[in-house]
Each structure stands twice: as structure tokens, then as C-alpha cells.
Structure 1
Amino acid sequence: MSGYAFTHLRHVDLAVPDYDAQVEFYSKQWGLTVTATDGDVAYLAAEGSPEQYVVRLRRAEDKRLDLVSYGVADALQVDQLAERLAQDNVQLVGEPDTMQTPGGGYGFRFFDVDGRTVEVSADVAVRTHRKVEEGESIPVKLSHVVLNSPNPERTVSFYDKHFGFRLSDTLMHPRMGEMMWFLRTNSHHHSMAVARGPHVSLHHASFELRGIDEYMRGTGRLLRNGTEKIWGPGRHLAGNNTFSYFLDPNGNTVEYTTELEVLDEDSWHPHLYDFSDPAVSDQWGTANAMDEFVATKSFNDPDKGLFVAPPV
């Protein structure tokens, strides 16, 4: 289906004060592979993904979401997108140029309407990757990111207008109104979602495992290792994907998932789901309740990097 500016989600980059603990967590517990380091920056790949890395960690005094990165089709698309954004008064961090990160490529960064940094790129070298085998409870790829915004309607409108994201489903509550919008940039149910929150922050980053067995093995491994679980295991209705949410050492929520729905875009119509119905949040009924604890952890800390580009 045409009209998408982005082809797919590439990586999520985090700035963290507890850098060593974070590298240890994402490599030894979460199941990613450190593929490169550059001073106080570490790049971590998913074994099944052709992306050079799916998480970048940077040592910093303040915790922040450094950026979210998306792919586009080619260098021409990069230039055309940068030109359109500039004409629409979207603030660019810099003009399109050769990328200095692993895999190279051509791209640029800009600030979205909430002030978070977004990177787009093309022609990044494909990483040598492998098939994740049966029973391996490690991420195959980065599945999606969810972003908190105090004005989510504006945020959703921004990504629709400038990049052609399409609405797959919406979550609502009888007392609170519409609360989460699931947006896609390809046929997968969502590459991004926007949640109503008290401040701009990362809600969570989600990583796809090979299948149900690997997802449950990974969930169990983290529980045995004492990683703090927030919510799950269960299966959402929107997206029909499994979920187990945990906290990394810096308080960011990260998710193991699998079986995210792939849509027939010619026939799909968005749903408005009422998540006061427990079966909307968890079809299986196996997860702990979606309560104040889960919601508060998902709000995360206010992002201290808005409209300030990361130094690398």
C-alpha cells in the first residue's frame, strides 16, 4: 500500500546515567548482542535482524530518549522528505548527509511536534544476521515503540500529516476517553503507538521473539533472574500480540512480544476498543490487572532532551 514515508522502524537510542548496568542488562539478560562501542556509546543488535543495531546506549548524566530511527526507501526519498519538512516549518537538526554510525548510510534528524529527536536514513549496510533457532529466547528484531504525549491527538496528527502513518486501532476508556493510538507504516499492525500521558517520554520499546515458546522461555528467564516485571504474560486484543513488560535498570519499560498481527490493508477498518473490558487488555486473562502501578511505570520519567539533539 503506497503513501508511507517510512519503510520500517530501525532502532531506539537511550541516554542513561547507569551505562554499564544498562549494557549488562541488554546484552546478558535481554538477549541483544553488542556489535560496536565508541567511547561511551554501545550499539546492540538483534541476532535475527538485518539492522546494524536495534538499541543504542549512551552514557549521560540525564536519562532521556535520544532518538527513534526509521528507514526510508532510498537517498532521493531522504532528500525529498527533508525538503518537505523544512517547507512545513518542522525543525531539522541538520541537512541530509552521510551517516557516521555503524553501517553508514544517508540521512538526517529532526524534532517532532513534542520535541523528541527522530532520525531517518537510507542505504544503511545490511548486517550479517542469522535465523534465530527453535527454543532461542532472544529478540529477533525491534517490533515497535510507544511514545507518551500530553497532547496525543496533536502527535498522531503530526505523524499522519508528514509521514503517512495510518491508524490501525484506538484504545479508549469510558471515563478517560481515547488513550492510545496504534499507528502503522507498513502492513504490521503498529510500528509506533502514541499514549496519553502526563509528559513526553518513552512509554516502552518492544522486541519480537521467534514464537510463543521462545517468548515464554524469555519471560521465564527474566523472572528467574529477578528482573522486575510490570505486566504479563498475556495477549492484547489490539494487534493480537503477546506481551510481557519489564523494567530495565534505568526504569525504561521494555517488552517481549510475538505474533503481532499483519493486516490485510485493503479490508482493514480501525476498531475503537474499550480497555475497561479486561479481555481487551489481555485476551488470555493470565496477566496481572492493568492498574495504577502498571500505568505509572509506563509513564516513565519526563524526557529531559526535548528540542535538544543528542551529541552523537
Structure 2
Amino acid sequence: MIRFRKFGRVELNVTDLARARRFYEEVVGLQFVAIGADGELLLRCDHDHHNVVLHEAASAGLRVAGFALEDEAQFAPLRARLEQAGLQVQDVSPSLCARHMQQRAVRVYEPLVGAVIEFYLPLADAARPFLPSVARIQRLGHVVFNTPKPKEAIAFWRDVLNFRVSDAVGEMVTFMRVWPNPWHHGIGIAKSTSHSLHHVNYMVSEIDDIGRALSRLRKAQSPVVFGPGRHPASESVFLYFLDPDRLTMEYSFGMEAFPEEHAREARELPLRPEWLDAWGSERDPRCFTGAGPNSTPDLVSEGA
């Protein structure tokens, strides 16, 4: 069975790189790492070399979602399963791996969520302390994909990639663990009419980080589009807000953790307001809509 460490990196397209850098550093609280060879911006929120990459583009949206594997031995069964499922697996070039502080990485275009997915092994010596600024971020938490084919996508991530379903709220969204990572979900599959980014999550260390963010977001004129509230499924306190390109971001505090063995059964929860937010906040219609389609297949060859 394929074993993962975590959801560890995300690449986003933004329409104004300088504006996005100010927002993600000063408002979200990510730490600047470097400017890449192609002008992309590398940022971090935990001990990894970087977790977030921003690329300037004509339209905003998800570019790449990256998942760290447990060790080198996972690449062979991963490639076999992906190729058996009919996907073309592309090795990321050694030069790009070096720029990303990775031992090895592969990419595929996953058509059911409509995104380029990267599987990688970070360099062991890439770790260094993360210095929190405006928010005490612990880690990149999860990514949720909008897709018109949620049932097929859930089956792929469960049966091919060995992710585990934790809970589903009606047919609206299904939460899946990056097994054997313990957190309630590292990805979500959300039902939509098109492919786009639903949201990216940052897990913070204190509930005060949620409260302090409210005034900081207001000063930055970043719309708060859902919360603060509590998700009964994952037990997380949440706050959703929009970045300058209207991509949805989330802070969350606390989350159910699962043991590797003898985990509870997945639940099918009713699609009712109280299962979305136990505190009763109302969601802004701009929440979770994304700014454009997810990444395209040509980005797989970019890793060559």
C-alpha cells in the first residue's frame, strides 16, 4: 500500500505577483524563502524548505498540488498504480528537484479533479525552523478540489492512491486522509459544475490566531466569506477569506486525528447547515468558487 507523509506544497497562479507577495506574507503570515529561476515566489509555513509557490499568470487558480511520500520505496508502487489507471507519469527533472529541495518527484495530470498532482520526497537536510509572524501557522493543512465528477474522483483517490475517506457531508463534499497521516483530511472532493480550486487550508496553533485574523483581514480589505465557525465533521474551528484574486483560503484550529490502525468508520453526514457550521455562520456566495479552472495537462511536461 502506498504510504504518504502529508499534503506538503501547493502552487498557485496569481495575476499580480507583487500584490500577492504582500498579501501572503503580511496578511496570511507565510515566510519568504526565495525568488525562483523563472520569477516564481517561494514561501513557507512549516519546517520544509517551502510549501507555497506563486506564479504570475493571466488568470488565477490552482497550478500544482504536491503530496510528500513516506520514503523512496513508495515511488515504484505509485507509478505502477497510476499507469495501470491510464495516467502518464512524468519524472520531474533533477534540476527542478534541486530547486525545490526534493530528492525525487513525479507528476501526473489527474483529469477527475482537473489538476496536476506532484508526488515527491523532500531532501532530509532541507528542514529549518519556521518563524511565525502574524499567525502561528503549524502546517499546510489541506486542499479541496471542485469537480463535476466527485464519485469517480473519490474512487480514484481511494482505490488508486490509497487515501482514506473520513467523512462525507451529503454529496456536497467528501474528506479524505493522506494515509497514514493522522489528520481528518488532507484533501477534499467537492461537487461542482466545473473544475476549480475550492480552497487551501493553513492549520494554526491557537484559537487566538482565528480571532486576530479578523481585524487583520478587514484592514487588508480581504473579504471574510465564512466563519468564524466550527466544522462538526473534523472538529475544526475555521475562518475562510479571499486572497486578492478571490481564491478562497482558510485558517483552521484543531482537527480530529486518526490512528493508523483501527480507525473509526467513515460517516455519511446529512447535508444540513448544522453539519457545515455548528456555530451557525452564513457562507458568502463568493466562497469556494475559485477564480478559474485548475491546471492543465501541459504542466506535467514542465517537470521534465
Same fold (TM over 0.5): yes
CA distance in 2, matches of 1:258, 1:137: 11
The answer as to whether partners of 2:42 and 2:52 remain within 8 angstroms in 1 is yes
Q: Percent of counterpart pairs with the same letter?
A: 26
Pair 1:82 & 2:72 matched: no
* CA-CA distance at 1:97 after TM superposition: 4.9
**Structure 1 unpaired stretches of 5+:** 173-177
Which of 156, 167, 179 is matched with 1:158 structurally?
A: 156
Match of 1:175 in 2: none
The answer as to whether partners of 1:16 and 1:64 remain within 8 angstroms in 2 is yes
AA partner of residue 11 (structure 2): D
Match of 1:45 in 2: 44
Superposition pairs of residues 262-281 of structure 1, within 5 angstroms: 262-264=257-259, 266-276=262-272, 278-281=273-276
Q: How many aligned positions are there?
A: 294
Superposition pairs of residues 6-155 of structure 1, within 5 angstroms: 6-38=4-36, 39-46=38-45, 49-92=46-89, 94-95=90-91, 97-98=93-94, 99-114=97-112, 115-125=114-124, 126-130=126-130, 137-155=135-153
AA partner of residue 148 (structure 1): N
AA partner of residue 161 (structure 1): D
Match of 1:303 in 2: 293
* CA-CA distance at 1:7 after TM superposition: 1.9
CA 1:212/1:148 → structure 2, altered by over 3 Å: closer, same or farther? same
AA partner of residue 175 (structure 2): F
CA 1:300/1:77 → structure 2, altered by over 3 Å: closer, same or farther? same
Query: RMSD in angstroms over aligned alpha carbons?
Result: 2.1
Larger deviation: 161-170 or 73-82?
73-82
The answer as to whether partners of 2:68 and 2:119 remain within 8 angstroms in 1 is yes
CA distance in 1, matches of 2:144, 2:202: 12
* CA-CA distance at 1:269 after TM superposition: 1.6
Pair 1:183 & 2:140 matched: no
TM-score by length of 2: 0.89
* CA-CA distance at 1:157 after TM superposition: 0.8
Provide, for residues 1-55 of structure 1, a one-character-per-residue CA deviation record: whole Å limited to 9, x for no partner: xx44322111110012221111111011110011011242001001xx1222121
* CA-CA distance at 1:124 after TM superposition: 2.4
Larger deviation: 190-199 or 216-225?
216-225
The answer as to whether partners of 2:226 and 2:287 remain within 8 angstroms in 1 is no
CA distance in 2, matches of 1:32, 1:194: 25
Larger deviation: 194-203 or 104-113?
104-113
Provide, for residues 186-226 of structure 1, a one-character-per-residue CA deviation record: whole Å limited to 9, x for no partner: 22100001000111111000001111122222233223332
Provide, for residues 45-89 of structure 1, a one-character-per-residue CA deviation record: whole Å limited to 9, x for no partner: 01xx12221210011223231110001122232233223322332
CA distance in 2, matches of 1:122, 1:84: 18
CA distance in 2, matches of 1:271, 1:261: 13
Larger deviation: 94-103 or 3-12?
94-103
Superposition pairs of residues 231-250 of structure 1, within 5 angstroms: 231-250=226-245
AA partner of residue 209 (structure 2): E
The answer as to whether partners of 1:168 and 1:189 remain within 8 angstroms in 2 is yes
Match of 1:214 in 2: 209
* CA-CA distance at 1:132 after TM superposition: 5.2
Match of 1:223 in 2: 218
The answer as to whether partners of 1:233 and 1:244 remain within 8 angstroms in 2 is yes
The answer as to whether partners of 1:62 and 1:304 remain within 8 angstroms in 2 is no
* CA-CA distance at 1:112 after TM superposition: 1.1
CA distance in 2, matches of 1:80, 1:118: 16
The answer as to whether partners of 1:247 and 1:253 remain within 8 angstroms in 2 is yes
CA 1:279/1:112 → structure 2, altered by over 3 Å: closer, same or farther? same
Provide, for residues 170-193 of structure 1, a one-character-per-residue CA deviation record: whole Å limited to 9, x for no partner: 001xxxxx1110000222100001
Provide, for residues 249-274 of structure 1, a one-character-per-residue CA deviation record: whole Å limited to 9, x for no partner: 11110001010111245141222222
TM-score by length of 1: 0.87
